[in-house]
Structure 1
Amino acid sequence: MGSDGTTAEVRCVAAVPCWVSLMAHDLDVAKAFYGPLLGWEFEPGPDRFGPYVHAVTGGEAVAGLGAASGGWGMPVAWTSYFGTESADAAADAVRERGATLAVGPLSFDAGRVAFAADPAGAVFGIWEGPLGRARRLDLLGAPVWIELRTPDPFAAALFYGEVFRWDGRDPERFEVRWEHDRVVLRAEGHSVAALAREQAGGPAGLPPHWEVSFAVEDTDAALIRAEELGGTALGPAFDSPYGRVARLQDREGGRFAVISAKP
């Protein structure tokens, strides 16, 4: 058991998005929505910055949910974290490339973290923690696909590639390729994240952002269940090269997606 009381493993994987975290207004409301929808159980997580829990499925911690204290008024949102061997080096690289380092790096039980925005304004996290292997992609409830929606994916790939040192990594474990009109990151033989073109204020009406997709058995059923739990569908479910997707909004306005694997 970790020092924060958790028993499930939390994995930091260098150079790719490997953790996601939601900052909610009301943690109980978030747990009541996401728990039944994604089959999550909850364990206590590090609470240095306010109430925080780990979402657990299949014995693995797959996401964090927190609520900031002190009248925090920012919109509810999911943040994707890139793993790194050095949060300080990554933070320096963010500054050197003209992007915004908003917070940190800060130390806490699970390592060191920082929050930044890329040159187009997409927010992301930086996490230096105990390095591990990428999680299974057949794990229901896990964030199995994370995609940057941005006007210029090639410029974004150059930025993230320099910050997280994509060049020169072991090609047996890490690869960057062009696939299905996206810059795709592959870890240990599996596509895990991508950078795709979308003009700001596009179909989703959002600025550049990282979209988190959680694995479900049946996307259409999950869309219906989300609405029953008080969430909102942001359009009909649709088929993508990576599975059937539905974009959703939770009870407090946090946006995310669910995806079921292609048969």
Structure 2
Amino acid sequence: MGPHGKFYWNELLTDDVDKARAFYGATLGWTFSEMPMADGGTYHVAALGEEPVAGLMDKTDLLPPTVPPHWFSYINVDDIHQRLKLLQAAGGHVLREPFEVPGIGCIAIVSDATGAPFGLMTASEG
């Protein structure tokens, strides 16, 4: 499991994955591998050398077209279910209930007390 309370993963949701891959490859030297997603889409894992550093995905079927491309961050926690209770007690909201991503961990999409969205996750071992 990753460190508790730290930003753990960042993900770009975009309308043009090919353009984003070309941009980050040219500017940061990232290389990309593809992973099939459960919904039939493709997840693009960016790496710097051998280290995975971010993910890219097409937001077309996930978000309204009025939502611009953006980076989305995930914070790792020790116990997602307990932390969701604390989040709600502190004025936050659960936007998407926890779901398992095999080999990755348990993820929930939430917002803080100011309305800022982010992901909470309890990463799988390894």
> Is 1:257 aligned to residue 113 of structure 2?
no
CA contact (8 A) 1:149 1:198 kept: yes
Which residue of 2 is the match for residue 196 of structure 1? Answer: 57
> Is 1:207 aligned to residue 63 of structure 2?
no
Q: Distance in 2 between matches of 1:140 and 1:164?
A: 28
For residues 129-174 of structure 1, the C-alpha deviation after alignment (integer angstroms, 9 at most, x for no partner) is xxxxxxxx822111111111112222211122222233xxxxxxxx
> Is 1:234 aligned to residue 81 of structure 2?
no
Q: Distance in 2 between matches of 1:256 and 1:153?
A: 21
Which of 165, 169, 172 is the aligned partner of 2:29?
165
Q: Distance in 2 between matches of 1:209 and 1:197?
A: 11
> Is 1:154 aligned to residue 34 of structure 2?
no
CA contact (8 A) 1:200 1:206 kept: no
> Is 1:221 aligned to residue 82 of structure 2?
yes
Q: Distance in 1 between matches of 2:49 and 2:89?
A: 37
Q: Distance in 2 between matches of 1:234 and 1:191?
A: 27
Gaps of 5+ in 1: 1-136, 167-174
Report % sequence identity. 29
For residues 183-214 of structure 1, the C-alpha deviation after alignment (integer angstroms, 9 at most, x for no partner) is 212346443311011117717x8432111001
Q: Distance in 1 between matches of 2:84 and 2:51?
A: 26
TM-score by length of 1: 0.40
Runs of 4+ aligned residues of structure 1 deviating over 3 Å after TM superposition are 187-190
CA contact (8 A) 2:29 2:48 kept: no
TM-score by length of 2: 0.78
CA contact (8 A) 1:231 1:250 kept: yes
Which of 178, 188, 191 is the aligned partner of 2:34?
178
* Alignment: residue pair count: 118
Which residue of 1 is the match for residue 39 of structure 2? Answer: none
Instruction: Give the greater-gyration-radius structure (CA).
Output: 1
Q: Distance in 2 between matches of 1:209 and 1:147?
A: 8
For residues 5-29 of structure 1, the C-alpha deviation after alignment (integer angstroms, 9 at most, x for no partner) is xxxxxxxxxxxxxxxxxxxxxxxxx
Counterpart mapping for 1:32-47 below 5 A = none
Gaps of 5+ in 2: 37-41
Which of 136, 142, 147 is the aligned partner of 2:6?
142
Which residue of 2 is the match for residue 56 of structure 1? Answer: none
Q: Structure 1 or 2: larger strand share? A: 2
